[in-house]
Amino acid sequence: MQGSVPLERYELTRIRDRLSFLYVEKATIARDRNALTIRTEEGTTYAPGAGLACIMVGPGTRITHQGMSLLGECGVSAIWVGEQGIRYYAHGRSLASSTRYLVRQAELVSNVRSRVAVARAMYAQRFPDEDVSTLSMQQLRGREGARVRRIYRDEAARTGVPWNRREFDFDDFDASDDINRALSASHVCLYGITHAVVAALGASPGLGFVHHGHERAFVYDIADLYKAELTIPIAFDVAAEAPPDIGSSVRFRVRDTVHRFRAIDKIVDDVTRLLFEPAEAEDALNSLGFDDNVVQLWDPNGLHAGGTNFEKEP
């Protein structure tokens, strides 16, 4: 709408206070003032633009120019996905205006010792009762593999859902059995939320410490921290109920559990703790949500203010 005034950055909701995700398919997304409108055959639904962390745009969905403009102004991570939210296609602008997290992430991932240290810290979060400080990456992967297999067996015993192994046809969602479809749908929701938080902090989704070479490697790193307590139990619970639409049922359950689990808060804190030393982490967290849209000029001897004429300098 031509008369809508763009939101100022100070008016935006901080990432940790936002709703987790909204999945939309077979609809038209537009704008009415500073609200998103989602129009389907059943009618029009309004959603708070500045209150969303992530919108997952599914098949059969169109977005108007003004709708996309509002998402950009509000820093909502728009992620284009395939049917059931499984296939990832692209993403839009994030909330970040600073490269503070990105610079630190690049520094850590570019050094073998610091990269291994961060990877160990990730595994230590999953093995709180074990000392992993001296384990190699190969040993850590072996521990994680055994842990995940044990979790699957325990969840199968708890819910009575038959379990053989994790298998999924990326090109055919319905080809898998119920539990594998439920796992895929729940993990995709977690990836979308994690991607939105990582992007909102200004970190790179692609610079992973455990995963490597994929545009969402860091997203997979962080999402793996929560699968055992969040998405895997949800998948087994939904599969045990055998609803007619597993994908939809899983998304509703993940949405509610993410709110109860305060997952966005946890992801913000964990990413910050992994990238920054304790003395720096608090400062990094306190800076989130403020306008630090400042361009500086790099120099080996220190940073310089942008927009300055240095013609007279030697």
The position carrying tokens 């009762």 is: 129
- Answer yes or no: is 154 a known binding residue: no
Residue with tokens 């992973």: 208
DSSP calls for the chain? -TTPPPPPGGGSPPGGGSEEEEEE-SSEEEEETTEEEEEETTEEEEEEGGGEEEEEE-TT-EE-HHHHHHHHHHT-EEEEE-GGG-SEEEE---S----HHHHHHHHHHTSHHHHHHHHHHHHHHH-TTS--TT--HHHHHHHHHHHHHHHHHHHHHHH----------TT-GGGS-HHHHHHHHHHHHHHHHHHHHHHHHT--TT--SSS-SSTTHHHHHHHTTTTTTTHHHHHHHHHHH--S-HHHHHHHHHHHHHHHHTHHHHHHHHHHHHHS-HHHHHHHHHHTTS-----EE--TT--EESS---TT--
Q: 130: annotated binding-site residue?
A: no
Give, to the nearest 10 degrees, the angle between helix 112-126 and helix 100-109.
Answer: 100
The C-alpha atoms of residue 216 and residue 214 are separated, in whole angstroms, by: 5
> Both tokens of residue 5?
């005034």
User: Cα dist. 10→97, 193, 287, 289 in Å?
Assistant: 12, 22, 12, 7
State yes or no: 195 annotated in a binding site.
no
Residues tagged in the binding site annotation for Mn(2+): 144, 211, 224
Residues tagged in the binding site annotation: 144, 211, 224
